[in-house]
Structure 1
Amino acid sequence: MTKIKLCGLSRTEDIETVNELKPEYVGFVFAPESRRYVTPQTAAELRQLLSTEIQAVGVFVNESPKKITELLHSGIIGIIQLHGDEDEDYIRRLKQHTDKPIIKAFRVETENDIADAERCSADYILLDSGAGTGTVFDWKLLMNIRRPYFLAGGLSPDTVGKAVATLHPFAVDVSSGIETGGIKDKEKMAAFVAAVRKEERL
């Protein structure tokens, strides 16, 4: 069963919606340069409202392991997602501080990018077209991948069904594809989740 991650949540309304829809994961973005950035305080308030059935993922770009582990230990997040230039040495150092799952994102342009992702020591890999660009990469590159992955990049309620049917990813990850005017759209969020669940039932 393909799992669902709805990323870039920042408002109480977003949490109310996901509590109804029950995706497996939600993402809080802690990268200050992102328009979806939330402060640790805001994330903590949102986390309090989040259903215990849903796991909270913290999204980071080249953040210090110390700051990440502080958010983990405070219970604001339970999973780490790395979206910067973090290398194997960084992941190794982070794992010395926590046993929580780590997702490492890779920008996919060539088969070499897939090979790099498969060698990564993170618990999970996320394959994307770029940092929140909302565009799709060539899915043909994924036909021979051997490890489970989160699929991101250009997914929307209209495209995610085909993605699940064609690729059977471990999880799908969406942010801009469920927004209208840069704000999370309840109808699009519901349609995205419904499209994934419908494909699973076929």
Structure 2
Amino acid sequence: MVKVKLCGLKRLCDIEWANEFCPDYTGFVFAGRKRRVTDELAASLRHHLRPEIQVVGVFQNEDIRHIADLVTRGTIQLVQLHGSEDEAYIRKLRQVISVPVIQAFSLDGTEQLAAIGGSSADYVLLDHGTGGTGQTFDWSLLPYIHRPFFLAGGLRAENVKQALSYHPYAVDVSSGIETDGVKDYEKMKQFMAYARSGMQQEERL
């Protein structure tokens, strides 16, 4: 079954809603400004989150020691690299952590396919631009991806069933469950409902 990641959670109510809808993953963003959380806030939110929901820490060119500290403390259970991290960075990161690594790519043409296929990360995440744009990219490129991938970029309740037809490992939503820049209970509820119903349809095919 395709997994669901609700990314960019930063309020206690966001966590309470996630506990209600039970996605497979939530995302805490340790980069940028709009959805950034501090280590202290992230630890508090993790404490209130259901233990079976795994937390993905989202980073951009972060100090590896900081990532390792968050993993060691149990604040995050996966690491998502959303900057210009290269293979050397991933190798150094794996020397100090043993949790899965996700590497994000902006998929806007076939020239990225070789790098996506060659990444040593456990998973790749395919997004529009630098992420958080709320826009989709050209999904006709997805059949060229021959490894498990997180599908992000412009997902919302209205298009998640179509996204599932490309058989991603996981769908990843952030702005699609927001209103005026903050998470919206009804949009989160609707996204989860559409995603789960779409998965059931895919299983019957």
Q: Is the 8 A contact 2:113 2:144 kept in 1?
A: no
Work out the CA distance in 2 between the residues paired with 1:145 and 1:42.
36
Q: How far 1:9 sits from its partner (Å)? A: 0.2
Q: How far 1:85 sits from its partner (Å)? A: 0.3
- The one-letter amino acid of 1:133's match is T
Over the matched positions of the two proteins, sequence identity in percent amounts to: 53
- Residues 1:27 and 2:27 are matched in the alignment: yes
Deviations 1:4-34 (A, max 9, x none): 0000000000000000100000000001x23
- Residues 1:114 and 2:113 are matched in the alignment: yes
TM-score (norm 2): 0.96
TM-score (norm 1): 0.97
SS of residue in 1 equivalent to 2:193: helix
**Residue number in structure 1 paired with 2:8:** 8
Deviates more, 1:46-55 or 1:111-120: 111-120
- The one-letter amino acid of 1:19's match is N
- Residues 1:197 and 2:170 are matched in the alignment: no
- The one-letter amino acid of 1:163's match is A
Work out the CA distance in 1 between the residues paired with 2:10 and 2:4.
18
Q: How far 1:161 sits from its partner (Å)? A: 1.1
- Residues 1:63 and 2:28 are matched in the alignment: no
**Residue number in structure 1 paired with 2:139:** 139
**Residue number in structure 2 paired with 1:163:** 163
Deviations 1:93-126 (A, max 9, x none): 0000011100000001111212211110001100
Work out the CA distance in 1 between the residues paired with 2:115 and 2:142.
13
- The one-letter amino acid of 2:196's match is R
**Residue number in structure 2 paired with 1:105:** 104
Deviates more, 1:12-21 or 1:114-123: 114-123
SS of residue in 2 equivalent to 1:45: helix
Work out the CA distance in 2 between the residues paired with 1:198 and 1:142.
22
SS of residue in 1 equivalent to 2:10: coil
**Residue number in structure 2 paired with 1:89:** 88
Q: Is the 8 A contact 1:55 1:78 kept in 2?
A: yes
Q: How far 1:53 sits from its partner (Å)? A: 1.3
SS of residue in 1 equivalent to 2:113: helix
Q: Is the 8 A contact 1:80 1:103 kept in 2?
A: yes
Work out the CA distance in 1 between the residues paired with 2:50 and 2:38.
20
- The one-letter amino acid of 1:29's match is V
- The one-letter amino acid of 1:45's match is S
Q: Is the 8 A contact 1:114 1:141 kept in 2?
A: no
Superposition misfits of 4+ residues, deviation over 4 angstroms? none
- The one-letter amino acid of 2:121's match is A
Q: Which runs of 5+ in 1 are unaligned?
A: none
Q: RMSD over aligned Cα, in angstroms? A: 0.7
**How many residues of Structure 1 are paired with residues of Structure 2 in the alignment?**
200
